[in-house]
């Protein structure tokens, strides 16, 4: 289990593994303790962690964003990236190791590209523009749209509010932005863990539920009408682990696909699911590398 020592998602997964008596090793970096000592000796392919040779049969890896969020130092971001690239490299070099999203690996899957693929594979998506001219929208028209970065990393904003922000407006004229029709709640988050699916309904008065500490989350059955095309999309991207977000079309009531995340936050959703999400991750890792003909095949709901 590798990632940041301040990552609440890894912390919850580690507690769950300990409670179940699952043998595991935590490779955690950050600010709370001295970094682990790691050497990968390529000549004889030996991995040493804190001086001991180890040969993991499975690996769960998360990029640490929390150290940089805490101190804002460029060094923290660089250090996290280098640890992530090192562990990812080891995982990709050892095909016998169970590693979520192995086929995804170091691919670059951009948000607009994924939206285009999703539409081709049967998922309904909102009306979307990727444009460096968001200012072309008039004030009245902009009220029905939202804006978010092409590469993520920021909360969604109403387009009219964003255009009223001079700094954002200048930036929007200099770089592409994703502009979409404004949708409504409830939202739906669907997790995939190998062949298993978990879904959660979210109700919030905020445009972006991540900004709402009062968001209501409930576990619901994963709709087969969504998991079938979503499974095809994730198979194509090489994702056997991840989460997709949907929101509701105000005119039709239909769930529209927004994005799929290859390394989603999951601690809060696992609490709602009474540990079932972490258990599924642990079970997938413990099962080892799946058979090629069965890899990535959606097989029901949980």
- The string of pLDDT tens digits covering residues 203-244 is 988 777 877 788 899 999 999 999 999 999 999 999 999 999
Answer yes or no: are the C-beta atoms of 147 and 162 closer than 8 Å.
yes
For residue 158, give the nearest of 135, 185, 181 by alpha carbon: 181
pLDDT of residue 171: 77
Backbone torsions φ then ψ of 212, nearest 5 degrees: -110, 105
3-state secondary structure of 294: coil
Mean residue pLDDT across the chain: 88
Flag whether pLDDT at 194 surpasses 80.
yes
Specify whether the CB–CB gap between 207 and 158 falls below 8 A: yes
What is the model's pLDDT at position 169? 82
Q: How confident is the model at residue 302 (pLDDT cuts 50, 70, 90)?
A: very low
Least confident interval from 126-130, 225-229, 271-275, 298-302: 298-302
Helices (runs of H) and strands (runs of E) counted in the chain: 10, 14
Within 10 Å of residue 1's Cβ, how many Cβ atoms? 22
Q: Are strands 27-29 and 2-4 parallel, antiparallel or unpaired?
A: parallel
- CB atoms under 10 Å from CB of 68, counted, come to 19
pLDDT at 298: 37
Query: Helices 276-287 & 8-19, crossing angle to 10 degrees?
Result: 70
d(CA 230, CA 219): 18
pLDDT for 295 beyond 50? no
| Residue 106 confidence (pLDDT) | 64
Higher pLDDT pick, 214 / 252: 252
Residue 70 token pair = 């805490």
* C-alpha span between 207 and 159 (Å, rounded): 11
Mean pLDDT, residues 282-301 taken together = 65
Q: Among positive and negative, which fits the CA dihedral 255, 257, 258, 263?
A: positive
CA-based nearest residue to 258, from 243, 273, 270, 240: 243
Q: What is the dihedral of CA 180, 183, 187, 191, to 10 degrees?
A: -20
Task: Give the dihedral of Cα atoms 87, 93, 97, 98; nearest 10 deg.
Answer: 70
127, two tokens = 């009306």
- At residue 12, does pLDDT exceed 80? yes
Is it the case that residue 112 has pLDDT exceeding 90?
Answer: no
Q: What is the pLDDT of residues 46-99, one digit of tens each?
A: 999 998 999 999 999 999 999 999 988 888 888 898 899 889 989 988 999 999
Confidence of residue 299 (pLDDT cuts 50, 70, 90): very low
Q: Which residues pair with 4 in a beta bridge?
A: 29
């Amino acid at each position: 289990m590798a990632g940041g020592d301040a990552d609440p998602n890894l912390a919850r997964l580690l507690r769950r593994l300990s409670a179940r008596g699952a043998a595991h090793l935590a490779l955690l970096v950050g600010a709370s303790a001295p970094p682990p000592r790691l050497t990968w000796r390529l000549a004889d392919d030996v991995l040493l962690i804190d001086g001991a040779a180890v040969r993991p049969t499975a690996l769960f890896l998360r990029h640490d964003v929390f150290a940089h969020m805490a101190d804002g130092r460029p060094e923290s971001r660089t250090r996290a990236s280098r640890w992530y690239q090192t562990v990812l490299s080891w995982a990709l070099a050892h095909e016998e190791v169970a590693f979520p999203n192995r086929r995804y690996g170091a691919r670059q899957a951009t948000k607009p590209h994924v939206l285009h693929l999703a539409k081709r594979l049967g998922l309904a998506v909102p009306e979307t523009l990727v444009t460096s001219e968001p200012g072309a929208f008039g004030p009245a028209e902009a009220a029905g749209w939202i804006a978010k970065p092409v590469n993520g990393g920021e909360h969604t904003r109403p387009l009219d509010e964003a255009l009223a922000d001079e700094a954002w407006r200048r930036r929007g004229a200099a770089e592409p932005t994703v502009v979409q029709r404004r949708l409504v709640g409830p939202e739906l988050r669907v997790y995939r863990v190998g062949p298993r699916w978990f879904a959660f309904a979210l109700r919030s008065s905020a445009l972006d539920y991540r900004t709402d500490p009062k968001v209501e989350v409930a576990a619901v059955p994963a709709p087969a009408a969504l998991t079938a095309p979503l499974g095809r999309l994730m198979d194509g991207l090489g994702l056997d682990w991840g989460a997709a977000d949907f929101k509701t079309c105000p005119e039709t009531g239909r769930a529209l696909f927004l994005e799929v995340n290859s390394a989603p936050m999951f601690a809060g959703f696992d609490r709602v699911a009474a540990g079932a999400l972490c258990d599924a991750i642990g079970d997938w890792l413990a099962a080892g590398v799946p058979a090629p003909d069965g890899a990535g095949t959606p097989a029901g709901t949980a």
